[in-house]
């Protein structure tokens, strides 16, 4: 194993993050003539605009201009795949928070104040707000999808036991620390330089070009880092970059558009909440024989990424379990709410939440330990084909589970909990162990490609560029490590630079946890081309006869050793090219987009968590006492960063399932649009003990860099164990009643409702 990959270098910006020196979009030196934009948006969720009176907006202090749909030269749409994401509306209101105009003023606060002075007369109509209403009215953003394996109907009939019920998982606001922001600076010839907090610079470029009715090559997007994205800036950043650019073109001035937290929460989409209806047949031992499932999600007003998100929910309904007969119906519901979007796990968490609840409900019905029932249903060497027809060849879940059961003393603690519960009337404890199996690759196959650009300057220092976005996940650190490893150079000689559409074109979003795999692959390809130039030079110039090795800032051949710096300056004088682009695409992927069957993923990552929780049956509060995790990251490139991702992912998942509740009133107006009403987990929710272990036998069977595995999203789903532990605690209050009524998030209110 190479030492560079075991050094566990700290995040390249760790010190800059904590000293405030890291430059985010709002910290970029502002042009002197910069103007600021604020968006005026709808205050109801459905209606017809009768009159827009912007007189007072115009007369407000510091106002320069107003932008509406009439100022759009190209298309009035920022939809990524499908149309339907209007920039400004002037006729129909389709959701609360829909942009109607933008006001341009001399400061951010003056623009915001002016935006509130609009008088918009709307004839209100009755909106469709909930999943159930949408299903009833067949209101969908995309056609329903179905996937079957075996014969669920007949096997349900034959099953000894049958259980049916409903489940609900809530939405989630991304709550990135840096909100949505963009700054557009006009250049010569109607070209525009755009700084945007986005996970997807290439699509930002393309969409701005279409909105301005210009060629893609006239738009230049630059991103050094973003202050968290979590999927919320995969497409939802486009609207703000587009509005800044429309204004910039109209006024020929630099424009910045930065949302405050409330507007950010109101105007941007969230995780899809899901409704599930299931019928499951199983043996007396708890082995699943057949499953019939209806899953429906609230997509909001437009398709956005909802197709792929709901597909991923279908792909993860099995989690780590072999289900011999299954029948899935998936409905993508259109509601008069802001369009929901990507969020860490991309539908996977919702699918897995469903099956984990079903298994827990089965074990309560049979009054059996749910750990045993989970193990009984795991994929194994024989039962190893998923419902979408992919063979699982890298399964390590049983090993991880057994290690974790031992390490966490699961059975002993379960007994202790029984004792505790028998002595305590009001406080009740629960415990649960749940697995994670998560597929890595974009399920839209063509997105699994990446590019890179590597320069070596004549002093031997390296300039690294690629298509990936640093959003806090440590991407740049890992990619610099990979570059330094490939060139045998010290990590510090690699210069990390902003992601830039003029350096690496046509990139995919940084998403699906695959950014290191993809861009790392492209970097290796670029470096190998430069090295092949250098090697040819070494063979000719130094008359090398042996293999050439790049190590410790030196190059070794013929029992000789010369410094990398010397080699580069000689190579330059001898006119050797020291720069190259690189490209990578994932192999082996193959799916039928009609049936969803085939191989959507290159590999799976695995993990498991044990959560021990205590609930107060009088207040409904809960507190996690201890969480033990073993998580597979293959042969890690950087354990320090991977551990950060596991801890952060777990806590974010915990927020989704316990504290974070999105609430609309009956008119579709968002009630939870600031931290005072929307509760993300903080130190107070962190378990007293959080033991995270990286799976020691981790190894990627596929030829991924260093045999590592993706880590960004999968740990999020470890938090399902905490929700299930709460269910166990509720069940422990009265074993004659199950806890299947608990809906997510398990807020005190929802916990109390499921006890009483
Ligand atoms: N970690 C931090 N700190 N900030 C983020 O925005 N996004 C998550 C995950 N971890 C995110 C994060 C999501 S949704 C994804 S898809 C991956 O990181 C993307 O980065 P990767 O492909 O490099 O793992
Ligand atoms: Mo992550 S939801 O794929 O940006």
Q: 234-267, pLDDT tens digit by residue?
A: 999 999 999 999 999 999 999 999 999 999 999 9
Atom of ligand 1 nearest to the CA of 710: 24
Q: How far is the CA of 297 from the centre of ligand 2 (A)?
A: 17
pLDDT at residue 438 greater than cutoff 90? yes
**Average pLDDT estimate for 385-399:** 98
Among the bound ligands, the one closest to the CA of 345: 2
* CB distance 500 to 222 below 8 Å: yes
Report which of 425, 412, 41, 79 is spatially closest to residue 260, judged by C-alpha positions. 41
Per-residue confidence (pLDDT) for residue 6, from 0 to 100? 54
* CB distance 254 to 364 below 8 Å: no
**Average pLDDT estimate for 91-106:** 98
Atom of ligand 2 nearest to the CA of 232: 4
List, in sequence order, every residue forming a beta bridge with 100; answer none if it has no partner: none
Between 492 and 6, whose confidence is greater?
492
Q: What confidence tens digit (pLDDT) does each residue in 206-218 have?
A: 999 999 999 999 9
**Average pLDDT estimate for 548-577:** 97
Average pLDDT value over all residues in the chain:
97
SS3 of 689, please?
Answer: strand
* CB distance 663 to 729 below 8 Å: no
Give the integer Cα–Cα distance in Å for 220 and 192: 6
- How many residues belong to the chain? 756
The count of other CB atoms within 10 Å of the CB of residue 140 is 17
Atom of ligand 1 nearest to the CA of 346: 14
* CB distance 486 to 526 below 8 Å: no
Q: What confidence tens digit (pLDDT) does each residue in 63-84 have?
A: 999 999 999 999 999 999 999 9
Q: How far is the CA of 558 from the centre of ligand 1 (A)?
A: 45
Strands 255-258 and 181-186: antiparallel
Per-residue confidence (pLDDT) for residue 735, from 0 to 100? 81
Per-residue confidence (pLDDT) for residue 716, from 0 to 100? 98
- Residues with Cβ within 6 A of ligand 1? 228-231, 344, 471-473, 475, 510-516, 645, 648, 710, 712-713
* CB distance 348 to 315 below 8 Å: yes
Give the integer Cα–Cα distance in Å for 505 and 499: 10
Per-residue confidence (pLDDT) for residue 583, from 0 to 100? 98
Per-residue confidence (pLDDT) for residue 739, from 0 to 100? 87
Reported confidence tier of residue 62, pLDDT bands at 50, 70, 90: very high
Kindly write down the DSSP assignment for every residue of 416-473, as one continuous string. HHHHHHHH-SSEEEEEEEEEEEEEES-SSGGG-EEEEEEEE-TTS-EEEEES---SSS
Q: How far is the CA of 269 from the centre of ligand 2 (A)?
A: 13
Reported confidence tier of residue 740, pLDDT bands at 50, 70, 90: confident
* CB distance 74 to 212 below 8 Å: yes
Q: How far is the CA of 454 from the centre of ligand 2 (A)?
A: 26
Give the integer Cα–Cα distance in Å for 292 and 156: 8
Per-residue confidence (pLDDT) for residue 183, from 0 to 100? 99
Reported confidence tier of residue 734, pLDDT bands at 50, 70, 90: confident
**What's the pTM value of the predicted model, to 2 decimals?**
0.98
pLDDT at residue 506 greater than cutoff 60? yes
Q: What confidence tens digit (pLDDT) does each residue in 329-369 have?
A: 999 999 999 999 999 999 999 999 999 999 999 999 999 99
Q: What confidence tens digit (pLDDT) does each residue in 3-38 have?
A: 556 568 999 999 999 999 999 999 999 999 999 999
Residues above pLDDT 70, as percent of the chain:
99
Give the integer Cα–Cα distance in Å for 203 and 205: 5
**Average pLDDT estimate for 402-409:** 98
Give the integer Cα–Cα distance in Å for 503 and 608: 40
Q: What confidence tens digit (pLDDT) does each residue in 563-573 have?
A: 999 999 999 99
- At 538, give phi and psi (nearest 5°): -65, -45
Residue 713 a catalytic site member: yes
**Average pLDDT estimate for 375-399:** 98
Per-residue confidence (pLDDT) for residue 2, from 0 to 100? 47
- Residues with Cβ within 6 A of ligand 2? 199, 229, 231, 234, 342-344, 346, 511-512, 713
């Amino acid at each position: 194993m190479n030492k560079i990959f075991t050094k566990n270098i700290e995040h390249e910006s760790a010190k800059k993050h904590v000293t405030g020196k890291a430059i985010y979009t709002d910290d970029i030196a502002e042009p002197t003539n910069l103007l600021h934009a604020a968006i005026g948006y709808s205050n109801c969720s459905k209606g017809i605009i009768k009159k827009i009176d912007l007189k007072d907006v115009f007369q407000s202090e510091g106002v320069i201009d107003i932008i509406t749909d009439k100022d759009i030269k190209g298309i009035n749409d920022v939809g990524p795949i499908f149309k339907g994401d209007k920039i400004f509306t002037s006729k129909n209101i389709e959701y609360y928070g829909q942009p109607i105009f933008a006001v341009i003023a001399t400061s951010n606060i003056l623009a915001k104040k002016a935006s509130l002075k609009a008088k918009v007369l709307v004839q209100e109509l009755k909106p469709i707000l909930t999943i159930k209403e949408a299903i009833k009215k067949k209101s969908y953003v995309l056609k329903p999808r179905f996937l079957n394996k075996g014969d669920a109907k007949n096997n349900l009939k034959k099953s000894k036991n049958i259980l049916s019920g409903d489940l609900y998982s809530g939405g989630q606001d991304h709550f990135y620390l840096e909100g949505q922001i963009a700054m557009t600076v006009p250049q010569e010839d109607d070209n525009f330089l755009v700084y945007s907090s986005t996970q997807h610079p290439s699509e930002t470029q393309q969409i701005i070009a279409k909105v301005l009715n210009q060629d893609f090559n006239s738009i230049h997007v630059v991103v050094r880092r973003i202050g968290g994205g979590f999927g919320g800036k995969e497409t939802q950043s486009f609207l703000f970059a587009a509005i800044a650019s429309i204004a910039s073109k109209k006024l020929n001035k630099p424009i910045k558009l930065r949302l405050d937290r409330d507007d950010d929460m109101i105007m941007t989409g969230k995780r899809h909440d899901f409704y599930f209806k299931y019928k499951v047949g199983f043996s007396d031992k708890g082995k699943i024989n057949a499953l019939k499932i209806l899953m429906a999600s609230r997509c909001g007003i437009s398709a956005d990424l909802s197709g792929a998100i709901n597909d991923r929910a279908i792909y993860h309904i099995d989690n780590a379990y072999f289900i011999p007969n299954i029948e899935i119906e998936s409905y993508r519901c259109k509601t008069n709410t802001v369009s929901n979007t990507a969020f860490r796990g991309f539908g996977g968490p919702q699918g897995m939440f469903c099956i984990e609840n079903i298994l827990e409900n089965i074990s309560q019905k049979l009054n059996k330990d749910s750990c045993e029932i989970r193990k009984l249903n795991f994929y194994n060497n024989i039962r190893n084909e998923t419902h979408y027809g992919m063979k699982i060849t890298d399964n390590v879940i049983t090993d991880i589970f057994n290690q974790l059961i031992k390490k966490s003393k699961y059975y002993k603690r379960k007994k202790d909990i029984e004792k505790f519960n028998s002595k305590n009337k009001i406080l009740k404890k629960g415990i649960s162990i749940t697995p994670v199996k998560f597929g890595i690759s974009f399920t839209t196959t063509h997105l699994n490609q990446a590019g890179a650009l590597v320069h070596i300057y004549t002093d031997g220092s390296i300039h690294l560029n690629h298509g990936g976005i640093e959003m806090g996940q440590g991407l740049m650190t890992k990619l610099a490590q990979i570059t330094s490893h490939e060139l045998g150079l010290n990590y510090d000689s690699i210069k990390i630079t902003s992601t830039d559409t003029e350096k690496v074109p046509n990139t995919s979003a940084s998403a699906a946890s695959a950014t290191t795999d993809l861009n790392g692959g492209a970097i290796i390809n670029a470096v190998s081309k430069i090295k092949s130039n250098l090697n040819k030079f070494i063979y000719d110039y130094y008359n090398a006869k042996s293999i050439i090795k790049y190590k410790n800032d030196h190059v070794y051949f013929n029992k000789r050793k010369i410094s990398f710096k010397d080699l580069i300056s000689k190579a330059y004088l001898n006119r050797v090219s020291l720069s190259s682009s690189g490209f990578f695409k994932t192999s082996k992927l193959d799916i039928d987009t009609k049936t969803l069957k085939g191989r959507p993923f290159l590999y799976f990552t695995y993990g498991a968590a044990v959560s021990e929780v205590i609930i107060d049956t009088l207040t409904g509060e809960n507190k996690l006492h201890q969480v033990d995790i073993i998580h597979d990251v293959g042969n890690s490139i950087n354990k320090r960063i991977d551990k950060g991702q596991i801890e952060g992912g777990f806590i974010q998942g915990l927020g989704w399932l316990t504290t974070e509740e999105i609430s609309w009133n009956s008119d579709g107006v968002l009630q939870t649009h600031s931290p005072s009403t929307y509760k993300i987990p903080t130190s107070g929710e962190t378990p007293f003990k959080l033991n995270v272990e990286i799976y020691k036998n981790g190894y990627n069977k596929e030829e991924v860099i260093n045999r590592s595995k993706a880590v960004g999203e999968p740990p999020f789903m470890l938090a399902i164990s905490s929700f299930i532990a709460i269910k166990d605690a509720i069940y422990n209050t009265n074993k004659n009643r199950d806890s299947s009524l608990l809906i997510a998030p398990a807020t005190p209110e929802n916990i109390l409702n499921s006890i009483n």
